[in-house]
Amino acid sequence: MQITARGRHRVPQASVPGQTFAMGDVFSDGVRPDGEQPVHPVRLPAYEIDATTVTVSDYREFVAATGYRTEAETYGWSAVFHLAVAEGSEIAGRMAGTPWWLGVSGADWAHPAGPTSTAADDHPVVHVSWNDAQAYCTWAGRRLPTEAEWECAARGGKPSQRYPWGDTLPAEWPCNIWQGTFPTVNTADDGWVTTAPARSYEPNDYGLYQPIGNVWEWCADWFSPSYYAVSPLDDPRGPKTGAARVIRGGSYLCHDSYCNRYRNAARSANTPDSSTGNTGFRTVAL
């Protein structure tokens, strides 16, 4: 639907100073199809980015003002992790190659585990597609961050580090990721089985909460594993076309045994109409 109303974006802002930084994976942690290399310099002007992901409460205000229906609502289902499905939910299908993802009828941003579940206001909104995130941005007078802006902000001014805080995971869990045996046993040692409140754990040095872990975050760019080899120095915007949009930061499902993408340099992608229980977004000022 066409968004004509204009709303108020209430997410606190973090300031990222203009700078040149090294973008990409200096540790060779990633896999080749993700295209995290070559490491290359990127120069960005200063910008303002959301300190947290957009929350359920923020998205509810948008929906109430516009009557917008997400693509999950239009399709009638969305992807829910198998251990998170609400009791009594109808399974519409299974995801090819990832049987731990179930298509659950009635799962959407307000009902993240199925139609009988309720989304917590202070948690990241999930089950929003790239198109749904764009619709919010139009209403709020915002935009999705470019992939370069996202990585620069996540690094928090600390160059070439694996995580926002350093190169290793400390004993105290610094982010919301999987503990246990993926995908069958989650010990929830960090306190969370699925999403944590958007303002959880310590922010990075720019004031961003949970740029890694918790939920994947949509970026503006089309995805290409070969883009870094041709990326311009100044304010890169990604390929001109593509089949999938970039997602960044990993989620509560990331674990070294399967997906170690809870890193500053890690990248992945999904089609613009896809929605899952572990993907949300944050925005940037126009």
Cα 72 to Cα 78, 149, 151, 256, distances in angstroms: 5, 28, 28, 29
| Torsion angles phi and psi, residue 60, rounded to 5 | -60, -40
Measured distance between the N- and C-terminal CA atoms of the chain, rounded to whole angstroms = 22
d(CA 224, CA 281) in angstroms, rounded, equals 20
| Tokens 């990248």 -> residue | 267
Is residue 159 over pLDDT 90? yes
Cβ 41 vs Cβ 231: under 8 Å = no
**What pLDDT, in 10s, does the model give residues 197-233?**
999 999 999 999 999 999 999 999 999 999 999 999 9
pLDDT of residue 247: 98
- Number of residues written out for the chain: 286
pLDDT of residue 171: 85
Banded model confidence at residue 256, pLDDT cuts 50, 70, 90: confident
In this structure, what is the dihedral angle of CA atoms 114, 119, 124, 129, given to the nearest 10 degrees? 40
**What pLDDT, in 10s, does the model give residues 11-62?**
999 999 999 999 999 999 999 999 999 999 999 999 999 999 999 999 999 9
Is residue 142 over pLDDT 90? yes
| CATH number belonging to the domain at 13-67+126-285, selected among 3.40.50.150, 3.90.1580.10, 3.40.640.10, 3.60.21.10 | 3.90.1580.10
pLDDT of residue 3: 80
Banded model confidence at residue 71, pLDDT cuts 50, 70, 90: very high
Is residue 5 over pLDDT 80? no
| Tokens 């949970």 -> residue | 210
Average pLDDT over residues 61-73: 97
Mean pLDDT for the chain overall: 96
Tell me the pTM.
0.97
Count CB-CB contacts under 10 A for residue 127. Answer: 28
Domain spans of the chain, in order of start: 13-67+126-285
| Tokens 């957009």 -> residue | 54
Banded model confidence at residue 2, pLDDT cuts 50, 70, 90: confident
Average pLDDT over residues 63-71: 97
pLDDT of residue 103: 97
**What pLDDT, in 10s, does the model give residues 93-141?**
988 889 999 999 999 999 999 999 999 999 999 999 999 999 999 999 9
d(CA 257, CA 251) in angstroms, rounded, equals 14
Residues 6 or more apart whose CB falls under 8 angstroms from that of 84 comprise 112, 113, 193, 194, 277
pLDDT of residue 168: 95
Burial 19-54 (b: 16+ CB within 10 A, else e): eebebbbbeeebeeebbbbeebebebeebebbbbbb
Calculate what percentage of the chain has a pLDDT beyond 90.
93
Is residue 4 over pLDDT 80? no
